[in-house]
Each structure stands twice: as C-alpha cells, then as structure tokens.
Amino acid sequence: MKKEEGISWILDRPVTEVIALKRKYPSDPDEYRKHLWAYEDEMTQRKRDFVHSLGLRCDTVGWCHVEADKTDIPWLLDEIERFCKQEGFLARGGYGCSYEGVESDWFEVSRWAPEVPGLSDYIEDGLYSIHAYKNHGRPFFMGVTFQVPPVVSERFRDVCLQNGIPDLRFSRVIDTGRYDASPYFFLFPQARVTEIAWDKGLRYSDDKAHYLYRKVPDGCLAPLYRHMNHLRFLCTRVPHGRFSPLYRRLKQLGGFLPRLAEVFYDFQFHLPDYYPAKALPETGFAQVYDHDRDTLLIHKETAELLIAEKLLSPSWLQPALIYDKTPPPGYRTDIINDPLWRGYNTEQAAKAEAAYEALQKKQRPPFKATEKQTLTLLRSAKRSRKEDFNQKMRQETADSLADTPLAPLIPFYLVANGCFLDDEYRILPYEETEKATRMLEERLASEEYASLPRGPVFCRCPDGDDVILCGDGKVCRISHEVPEVSEEWESLFLFAFECLNNNP
C-alpha cells in the first residue's frame, strides 16, 4: 500500500495592514479602493515571485500545490517559515493524502461518477426532498450527488432485484420533463454505517489575515458567506500549539504533519475515512451519512456483478479503508446519526409511483438533437478543453469524404479531426478509422454475428468497445467482450449531444 501526500498553500498579509489603509482614507471610499487594489496586486506579485524563487509553480493569485514524493517538504516548510518571518507574510493551506494499492472488500463510489443529465429542481415534501429530472439523454447507470440519494437507471434496479442484492429499496424519480425519457430511481441502502474514524477536528485558524474579514454581501451568496464565517469562527477556537490535543494527533499521524501546525496559521487536513468492519453488512451496499459526509459503499462481489453488466465502471470505485478493532493512531472515532437522514419513505415512493402512472398516459415527443445544437456544444467544448481536441481537417480532405460512409462525420472533422467527447467516448482521427473498422469486421466475421449492425468505426471507448455509424443513421456501441449492441442512439448528432452534455 503506497501513501500519496500533498499540500496546497498560499501566503497572506496581516489584517492590520488593511485596517491601517482604511484609516488613511476614512471619508474617501474610492481612493481607499484604488489603493487597496494596488496593494493587493503588489502583494500577489510578491507571493508569486517567492514561489517561483523556490523552483515551483503557482496559479495567478499564488496558490501552489506540491506532492511529497516530488518535493522536499521539510525544506519547503523551512523556506516558507523563513520568508514569512523576514517579509511579514502569513501562510495558510491544506494537506491531503490517499493510498494506492489497497486490498479491500469494500469500495467507495466516487462522487465523480456520471450523473443523470438535467437532474434538478428540488421538490420539498417535509424533511424528505427529492429532485425532479428533465432528462432526455441516454440512460446513465449511477449518479452520485451530495446529500441526495444515488440515482440509478431502470436496468440497474432490475439487475439488483434479479440477483437478490439484499437490503435495497428503490423509489422513482419524478419526471417533469417535456420530452420522453427513460425512468430513473433513487437507491436507498438499508444498511447504514453509523461509526466512522475520520479527520474531524483537524482544522484551525489563527484569524490573522484580511481575507477572513470580507463583508457578507447582499443577495443569494449571503448564506454561504455567513456559513463560511461561522466555520472560521469555530476554527479560531482550536489551539494548535505544541501541547494542544490537535498537535498530539498530528504527532500520532507522523511524518511532517506536526511541522505544518508550526508553520501555517490557517490549515485543513483531509484524510481518507476508515470504517469499522463490524458495522458493514456481508455484501451489497451501505450508506455513510452525516451533515458533512454522504458516502455510498459497495461490496466487492456486488461491484464485480454490476461491472460485468456494464452498470458500473471500475474508475468510479475507490478501495475503502477498513479497521477491525481500533482505527489508526491520530484518527477520531465518532458515532454519526444525523436526524435529517433521508431514508426510504414509503409515502413518498407511493406518490412517485402514482405520478409515473399518470405520466404514462401522456404522449411526450422524443428529443431530437439538431446539427446546429450539437456543433455549438462541440465548438464550446473545444474552447474550454483544447487538450482534448486535435486540429480540424483540411477542407480538401473533407470534400473527398462526401461520397463515403463517413460523410455524416464531415461537420465534426471540420471542427476537430479526432477528439474526446467525454471521458468515455473518443472520436477517432479519420486516419485511424479504416484500421479500426477492419479489426471489428474481422471479429464479426463469424456467421453467429451476421445479424449485428455494420458500419465504420468512428469512435472508441477506454474499455475497448467500438462505436459504429450504421447505414440507417443510427449509432451503436459494440461490446469488446461478447460482440453485441450494448447501447444505441437514434442519430449521430444525438449521440454527440448527449456525450458532450455529460462532460461540457
């Protein structure tokens, strides 16, 4: 098991300097604002210059991130401390760590798993809140959103029920969209982990820098600012000196962590959670829920089943850390039992089922993506993530494809001759399509695959699946394991539109 550590940090100026500047122009806010901006620009440049003097990189305001295996952290902390003392700066930041190569029977489902597109619009019903979705896209399999029950497709639900995955409840997501859409369900594991070993309490602030004193604005951001100020106020009450409980915890955790509490005036520690083996079921799913935790756990056997059914991707899973009797030194163990736990609600599930039955009586049109809509999204994606797009095809080459099966792809090639639509789908450069198509045809040469659709392979997936453009205009994904159609779209533009919306 390999431990990966890193810290992110930035320099600040004491609040006294800003207060003195404000007192210098008590009756002229415009003059004060002008000098404040000049002061902040100067300080930002000094921060950046210091980071560059260490041979490191930073962003436009001075934030720097370093990995422990690539940087001498003790040396860096000494340099930060020396500079702060000499130049009157303060340092704040955060620490994070993770483990590679962990062997575990349980996994955390990543929050970056694909979400159902268009999941929005809260519908409040007492303490139980759900989302209405306005989806017209392809059926994503699992969406994980903060403090909202996981959302799964109908096929996901059916596979769970058919294979007897224990202690699961499902409730329909209410659909208010204008277009016809596949049904989705909230997933409610009945197994709940109420004990956790975590990093709670490993945050402090000495409340010295002017960034903490910014005025709470009017309007929609006011609650967020008040909440952040409240958190900072609580953190000012956490001592971090050599004889403090926090410092003792850092010494137990080991490494350079105690030194961080000596150098930084404001710091957060982010450690991976540990779960007690006694609190976990034998298989299936389990939920970890608190006001600042909302984690879905899945057993290894259940994950393997859903991966085999192409309902989960291994990239969405992170091995969970489990302890038998006592957690690692430095961790704090708590019982978590949030009263606002959004468990399965029989009444709400019945309402959602009735709403679905009423919806079935309506005739909703299917969504059809136009060429203009899709190419607008494609160009926008190219501007925002240039590294995922190749150069566009020359017009002469595009014209030569006009009478070939790849003709419908010409509008895409004129934007980029190969690109990543999202993390799952990569449009191949034109030069690679012939070889990819030939390889698929060789796989499908047997008579038993004669009924499968045919067409040029224009797109590939990380797992080796091929995506073909059929003669009738449909797009099909062919599995790399057993040749079969695993997904299908009505048109090339609908396929690209949905992929781009998954990763705008």
* pLDDT tens string 335-367: 887 655 667 888 888 988 998 888 888 887 877
Residue 92 lies in a domain: yes
164 and 283 belong to one structural domain: yes
- Beta bridge mates, 64: 9
In the chain, the number of structural domains is 3
Whether residue 228 is found in the same domain as residue 84: yes
80 near 91, Cβ under 8 Å? yes
* pLDDT confidence tier of residue 124, bands split at 50, 70 and 90: very low
Asked if residue 365 is part of any domain, the answer here is no
Q: Which DSSP helix (H) or strand (E) runs through 6?
A: strand 2-12
Residue 307 belongs to some domain of the structure:
yes
420, 369 in Cβ contact below 8 A? no
45 and 160 part of one domain: no
Q: Which of 136, 145, 4, 128 is nearest to 68 (CA)?
A: 4
Q: Which residue stretches of 150-291 are H helix?
A: 154-162, 222-235, 245-253, 257-263
Comparing 432 with 111, the larger pLDDT belongs to 432
User: Which range (70-84, 191-205, 251-265, 388-402) has the least confidence?
Assistant: 191-205
Helix (H/G/I), strand (E/B), else coil: 170: strand
Sign of CA dihedral 27, 29, 34, 37: positive
At 140 the pLDDT is 52
Q: Taking 50 as the threshold, does the pLDDT of residue 126 lie above it?
A: no
pLDDT for res 117: 53
Query: 237: pLDDT confidence band, cut at 50, 70 and 90?
Result: low
| Cα gap 111→412, rounded to integer Å | 31
Mean pLDDT along residues 321-345:
83
Boundary-marking domain end, from 227, 242, 270: 270
Residues 263 and 282 in one domain: no
Tell me how far the alpha carbon of residue 252 is from its chain's centroid.
31
Q: How confident is the model at residue 446 (pLDDT cuts 50, 70, 90)?
A: confident
**Mean of pLDDT values over 418-439:** 93
Tokens matching residue 66: 């370093």
Q: How does the average pLDDT of the chain come out, rounded?
A: 84
Residue 109 · residue 142 · CB < 8 Å? yes
Whether residue 115 sits in one domain with residue 154: yes
Question: 73: how many CB neighbours lie within 10 A of its CB?
Answer: 21
CATH number at residue 452: 3.40.1580
User: How many residues would you count in the chain?
Assistant: 504
CA–CA dist 128, 479 (Å, integer): 40
> pLDDT digits over 59-99, tens only?
988 999 999 999 999 999 999 999 999 999 999 999 999 99
Report if residue 468 sits inside a domain: yes
Tokens of 284: 């299936």
Among the candidates 306, 330, 360, a domain finishes at 360
Question: Which H or E run includes 477?
Answer: strand 475-478
Higher local confidence (pLDDT), 1 or 259: 259
Question: Is 366 domain-assigned?
Answer: no
Q: What is the dihedral of CA 391, 397, 400, 402, to 10 degrees?
A: 20
pLDDT at 114: 61
pTM over 0.75: no
Helix (H, G, I), strand (E, B) or coil at 255: coil
* Same structural domain, 174 and 279: yes
Half-sphere exposure of 19 (CA within 13 A, CB side): 8
Question: What mean pLDDT is predicted for residues 369-377?
Answer: 91
**291 versus 321: which is more confidently predicted?**
321
Q: Do 377 and 443 belong together in one domain?
A: yes
Please determine, for residue 201, whether its predicted confidence score (pLDDT) is greater than 90. Answer: no
pLDDT at position 235 is: 52
Asked if residues 203 and 193 have their Cβ atoms less than 8 Å apart, the reply is no
Of 302, 328, 360, which residue is a domain's last? 360
Residue 502 has pLDDT above 50, yes or no: yes
The parent domain of residue 322 ranges over 106-196+274-360
Q: Please, which residues have CB within 8 angstroms of residue 428's CB and are 6 or more apart in sequence?
A: 418, 436, 457, 458, 459, 460
How would DSSP label each residue in 341-380? -----HHHHHHHHHHHHHHHTS--PPP---HHHHHHHHHH
- Same domain? For 154 and 96 the reply is no
The answer to whether residues 283 and 334 belong to one domain is yes
Mean pLDDT of 426-435: 94
What percent of the chain stands above pLDDT 90?
A: 50
AA identity, residue 79:
E
Q: Are residues 349 and 392 in the same domain?
A: no
Query: Do 486 and 422 have their domain in common?
Result: yes
* 217: nearest Cα among 205, 232, 204, 228: 228
pLDDT digits (tens, 9 = 90+) for 11-51: 998 877 877 887 888 888 888 888 888 988 999 999 999 99
- Out of 56-70, 217-231, 251-265, 486-500, which region has the weakest mean confidence (pLDDT)? 217-231
Residue 137 is predicted with a pLDDT of 52
Distance CA 219, CA 239 (A): 34
DSSP-assigned states of every residue in 73-94:
HHHHHHHHHHHHHHHT-EEEEE
| Predicted local confidence at residue 343, as pLDDT | 74
Residues 415 and 299 in one domain: no
CA distance linking residue 419 with residue 421, whole number of Å: 6
